[in-house]
Amino acid sequence: MEIRVIVAGAAGVLAVISSAAFAEADLGAARELAPSVAGLMAHPRVRFGYAEEGGAAPSVDVVDADPARLTPLSQRAMIEPLVEQVAQTYGLESALLHAVIHVESSYDPNAVSKQGAQGLMQLMPGTARRYAVADAFDPEQNLHGGARYLRDLLDIFHNDLRLVLAAYNAGEYAVIRNGYRVPPLKQTLAYVSRVLQLYRHNVRAEMRAP
């Protein structure tokens, strides 16, 4: 059997997540081997349908998932396929995108900072306009805008991740004005360190994945 999770919200279906093939009764293995699915399995408002592998469409219960009640793990599971797609589109590592999203918004698509940054990748209004993001709270638009910005920063700073992340946090001109070095700002230094830590963790996790 293949376990499939369909999560829906007010705007329609938000995600379709499939585990590897598991026996229907072997949900313990599914939890152990598919942590992204397990995050949703633990949510009381998500239910499952099953389909024979390669067979007809599964019988599923589509439920309204309130993002405010989902954990960061569940939020990550919901957008994982989209992150992979966007990463491939712009030649980025999904491990990097996930690290930035984690630090910027903890996977909350409705996050707003005190400075006015919005959405998953915390786009400032000016950055959103620059990358033609009409609705920064739309996960797909936000991810495309943030990924395009990261792609441009990687090109500007010749793939130096420390400078790229510093620029994402403080602005590219702050890095340039500081002689192409990370600005000595407490928040920026902490941000760069945290994102790099998560990025390396994500890369190691990908290498261990079967």
Please report, for the domain that includes residue 94, its CATH number: 1.10.530.10
pLDDT score at 75: 79
Active site includes 104?
A: yes
Write the CB contacts of 106 (distance below 8 Å, at least 6 apart in sequence). 72, 75
The model's confidence at residue 154, banded by pLDDT at 50, 70 and 90, is: very high
- Number of domains composing the chain: 2
Give the mean pLDDT of the chain. Answer: 76
Instruction: Single out the residue in 35, 69, 103 at which a domain terminates.
Output: 69
Pair 134, 65 in one domain: no
**Active-site hit among 53, 84, 104, 140:** 104
Find the DSSP H helices in the chain.
27-33, 35-41, 72-89, 94-105, 125-130, 139-156, 161-170, 172-177, 186-208
Pair 93, 163 in one domain: yes
- For the cut 80, the answer to whether the pLDDT of residue 98 exceeds it is yes
d(CA 48, CA 124): 38
pLDDT score at 14: 41
Pair 52, 92 in one domain: no
Pair 45, 86 in one domain: no
Instruction: For residue 39, give the nearest of 83, 69, 11 by alpha carbon.
Output: 69
Pair 192, 124 in one domain: yes
Pair 87, 59 in one domain: no
Pair 81, 47 in one domain: no
Pair 95, 160 in one domain: yes
pLDDT score at 206: 86
Pair 22, 102 in one domain: no
Pair 80, 46 in one domain: no
- For the cut 50, the answer to whether the pLDDT of residue 21 exceeds it is no
Domain that holds residue 204: 72-208
d(CA 150, CA 39): 28
The model's confidence at residue 72, banded by pLDDT at 50, 70 and 90, is: low
Pair 93, 26 in one domain: no
Instruction: Single out the residue in 25, 53, 69 at which a domain terminates.
Output: 69
Is-above-0.85 flag for pTM?
A: no
- For the cut 70, the answer to whether the pLDDT of residue 170 exceeds it is yes
